[in-house]
Structure 1
Amino acid sequence: MSQALPAEIFKAYDIRGIVNKSLTADVVRRIGQALGTLALEQGQTAIAVGRDGRLSGPELAGALMDGIMAAGCDAIDVGCVPTPLTYFAAYELGCNSCVSVTGSHNPPDYNGLKMVIAGTTLALDAIQDLKRRIEAGQVRSGQGSQRSADVVGAYIARIVADVKLARPLKIVMDCGNGVAGAVAPELFARLGCQVLPLYCEVDGNFPNHHPDPSKPENLKDVIKALQETDAELGIAFDGDGDRLGVVTKDGEIIYPDRQLMLFAADVLSRVPGGTIIYDVKCTRLLAPWIKQHGGVPLMWNTGHALVKAKLKETGAPLAGEMSGHTFFKERWYGFDDGLYTGARLLEILSRSADANAPLKNLPNSPSTPELNIKMAEGEPFALIDKLKAAGKFDGAEQIVTIDGVRVEYKDGFGLARPSNTTPVVVLRFEADDAAALARIQAAFRQALNAVWPGIQLPF
């Protein structure tokens, strides 16, 4: 038996930890050997490895590739690229397997691994199995080789061939010093945009603001640039480029569940009757919108890996999450890609003389952003189990428990779900008007206090 690994780095959809504490080069090398073994067992001979712009990236990617080769599997280094380019490399290079060394939108001292083996994103049990395999020493030994490949040119060419803007657009682009800055400005210029870049220099210290466009405070600079220039629209990417933020000329943030409405209408015009998948955090205005445009709405669990699995199972042409991960299977590969999503957005908006009009005309209703209850490790799941068993919600039309507790009323909904990445309970509320929103929040306040006395609520 080899020594135990830190359990806390093996998350639901990826591996993530603090560099040189829970996530060391040695741990990553051992994971690499297990991934190489897994790939070989599934008839694959090579794994593409990319990394985001974090300072620890080169060392950890090197350790990962050492591990992959120690299993007798080949490693293909695709360099410092956005996570979607690492996914793209698996298709472009024909190896079907890839690992992105990324801390996503976590603080600078974090890093992690997003893993795809033989075309399947590792998640949940598969990640726990990987841990057990390493600790039991069930790995192969051999001597693989390493080579480098540059897929950036092929990626840009593929998108430029696919996406056509009806007219040039002038946009503000905030890459938050994340790795999207290495590719996005060139891509959007090639699509015919005039790009006003903000923080597009890749810097793993993230000196300007945190690269997470799901938080409104991280979009302040985009809003300011839109006020001060003649740019029509603002877009922003997260740290590893797989999520997109969108801001209108007048400073309104268009959250991803509303972006998904625009994409759904567009995709369904070419794929009538298609299934559109969205996660439990999304607006309740989505389902009627999808039906109205001739599609089939399907609510599913939160988590990029879980959504990808459902996409594969259903053959859906499109899926999206409230967090900003959007998955196009129509015309694309079905992985989450903030850069490609941005390109598809501009393709739709460029057809209007006023690029903001299609966004401003989307249905909307009063809602809260994601609210978090911070708890101790393990407590969020215990709380949600209690809420499922004993929560009282008078007047509810439906209670959905596929991922947490989502309570649907005739005039709104409330959601409480345990995060799979950090020890918090995620809450979200939406309603037809402010009074209904307050009533639904009061019902949740009462139910949460009843099952977990003394809980500190953020609303």
Structure 2
Amino acid sequence: MINPEILREYDIRGIYEKSLTLNDVTKIALSITKILINNKSPNIIIGHDGRVSSLKIKNTLIENFTTYGIEVIDISLIPTPLSYFSSKCYKIPNLIMITGSHNPKEYNGLKMIIDNKPFFGKSIKSLNEVDVSSLIKKNGSVKFQNPLIRYQNEILNRFSNINKLKIVWDPGNGAIGAIINKITNTIGGTNIILNQSIDGTFPNHHPDPTVKSNIIEISDFIKKNSFDLGVAFDGDGDRVGIIDNKGNLVYSDMIFLLLALDLQKEKKDITAVADVKCSKILFDVLKENGIRILMSKTGHSLIKQMIVAENADIAGEMSGHIFYNHGYYGYDDAIYASLKFINILNSSNNSLSDILEPYMQSSSSPEIKLYCKESEKFDLLSNIISDLKVIYNDAYLNEIDGIRVESSNFWFLIRASNTQNCLVFRLEHFQNELFKPEIQKIITIFKKFNLDLKELDSFYKAI
């Protein structure tokens, strides 16, 4: 039996050799094999990030797939967006990307596409129910492919006119390091690369570019060398972090706001999707500009599903996932999104901080993690929601994902993470002098529950 704890909402993820073992990987491979055979599509692409355990997981998958007749395309060490691109350009509808994404180094996992659709939710959680007893051994095959040249010709070369900016890049010792030189050589201008070598132990900082403590090095470089902006990636290259010319982290909802407004220049009537953690400013500004903007649950697989259902042109998450459907393939590609963003700045005579200034109308927190036991996470959330409904009974309560409490001058969200053992909190307030008191009130509420409030307490003390 596959450990149920690793069968998450969006993908499979756990601590290697603890919650996620090679025995689990073997059973996952057998269940997926059965699904592929039933679909009459016995082929699959496999890529992996640079984590220490990724090769062992890949080899275990390949051994089991080829034992039962599956044809494997091995695209080797590669960023997640290029694995998605491979599925499109090789016209193979099935894909496994081995990655722990933005999680700590001891984690790993599997992101999957089956039959050209994200494989998530009930599909993942029912893997243990797949009957593999009828599988018959027969020889499969392994073929190696490198999609980078095709990606450069089709995608990167769209941005060869970016040439006037000074940009510092931080792959964070993640999988983007494998192709970062292709990116910088394509766009020209002045480019400096930090932490390029791929190292699955992430020796320089944690691989999440949306957290301020992880962008200290790139921020200091920008300030000391008067660069125009910084671009940082997570461990597998599907999340982007942008740092402005003053060395400040730009929240991902503001990145998405500018990208959506920019896309409207290409296509007048666009539909956009943003996740429940995003700023009210984002939703209000896009509505005011005639953009149809929809709110989604958090999660890359859930957003991809909504893009298809609503025929959306662009989507974004607070976590740094940006999805282009108009003029692209509808998946989250942090490389493509970062280049689209850089192109906005390259076409402007203003600095990034000046471009963003009109939208800086509130005080807001980043995503703050409140750690807890995985087994207690959803019960904790349910009990907290019950209390909040009583305390904030005059507010608008949006329960699309956890609960988003919306008042006339502030909103906050508390939801369960589907990738880590924590609840996630965010607050935005439009009366700056009341921002800190509201956080204090919420801390008092949360103290009743078995939560680690260190991140929230630290943020409160710092503001």
Give the TM interval when normalised to the shorter protein.
Answer: over 0.9
65-74 or 209-218: which moved more?
65-74
Which runs of 5 or more residues in structure 1 are unaligned? none
- Tell me, yes or no, if structure 1 residue 63 matches structure 2 residue 60: yes
Distance in 2, Cα, partners of 1:26 & 1:341: 37
Aligned residue number for residue 185 of structure 1? 181
* 1:215 partnered with 2:211: yes
* CA deviation profile, 1:313-356 (whole Å, cap 9, x unmatched): 11101111101111111111111111111111111111012342
> Alignment partner for residue 132 of structure 1, among 106, 126, 129?
129
TM-superposed CA distance for 1:141, in Å, is 4.2
Which residue pairs with 1:26 in the alignment? Answer: 23
Question: What CA distance in whole angstroms lies between the structure 1 residues aligned with 2:13 and 2:451?
Answer: 28
Instruction: Describe how 1:299-310 pairs up with structure 2 within 5 A.
Output: 299-310=295-306
For residue 113 of structure 2, give the secondary structure of its aligned residue in structure 1: strand
Given that 2:371 and 2:451 are in contact with CA atoms closer than 8 Å, whether structure 1 keeps it comes out as no
In 1, Cα distance between equivalents of 2:377 and 2:22: 31
Alignment check: 8 A CA contact 1:373 1:456 kept: yes
Displacement of 1:271 after TM fit? 2.6
Q: 2:403: which partner in 1?
A: 405
Q: Decide whether the 8 Å contact of 1:393 with 1:447 is kept in 2.
A: no
Question: Shift of residue 166 of structure 1?
Answer: 5.2
Once the two structures are TM-superposed, the CA of residue 43 in structure 1 deviates from its matched residue by 3.5
Alpha-carbon distance in 1 for matches of 2:160, 2:285 = 25
SS in 2 for 1:69: helix
Question: Residue 330 of structure 1: SS of its match in structure 2?
Answer: coil
TM-score, with structure 2 as normaliser:
0.92
Query: Residue 419 of structure 1 aligns to which amino acid in structure 2?
Result: S
Q: Is the 8 A contact 1:71 1:141 kept in 2?
A: yes
Is 1:53 matched with 2:54? no
Q: Which amino acid aligns with 1:353?
A: N
Deviations 1:223-273 (A, max 9, x none): 111122242110100000000010011111111100010011011222333
Q: Is the 8 A contact 1:243 1:325 kept in 2?
A: yes
User: Is this contact kept in 2: 1:29–1:65, CA < 8 A?
Assistant: no
2-structure distance, mates of 1:326, 1:207: 26
| CA offset digits 1:392-420 (Å, max 9, x no partner) | 24474411001001001111101111111
Partner of 2:461: none
Identify the residue that residue 279 of structure 2 maps to in structure 1.
283
Counterparts of 1:420 and 1:83, CA distance in 2? 19
Cα 1:16–1:166 change in 2 (3 A) is closer
Query: Which is worse superposed, 250-259 or 66-75?
Result: 66-75
- Tell me, in whole angstroms, the C-alpha distance in 2 between the residues paired with 1:185 and 1:355: 25
8 A Cα contact 2:168 2:229, kept in partner: yes
CA offset at residue 164 of structure 1? 5.2
Distance 1:211 1:195, change over 3 A: same
Deviation at 1:361, TM superposition (A): 4.1
Count, aligned residues: 453
Q: 1:34 to 1:398 in 2, by over 3 A?
A: same
Correspondences of 1:40-439 after superposition (within 5 Å): 40-133=37-130, 137=133, 139=135, 141-163=137-159, 165=161, 167-356=163-352, 357-391=354-388, 392-394=390-392, 396-439=394-437
- In structure 2, relative to structure 1, the CA distance for the partners of 1:362 and 1:137 (3 Å cut) is farther
Verify: 1:12 aligned to 2:9, yes or no. yes
Q: Distance in 2 between matches of 1:355 and 1:179?
A: 29
Provide the rounded CA distance (Å) in 1 between the counterparts of 2:214 and 2:53. 23
CA distance in 1, matches of 2:135, 2:307: 31
TM-score by length of 1: 0.93
How far 1:455 moved relative to its partner? Answer: 5.5
Distance across 2 between alignment mates of 1:390 and 1:139: 50
Give 3-state SS (helix, strand or coil) of 2:385's partner. helix
Q: Give the letter for the 1:429 counterpart.
A: L
Give the secondary structure class of the aligned counterpart of 2:374: coil
Identity among equivalent pairs (%) = 32
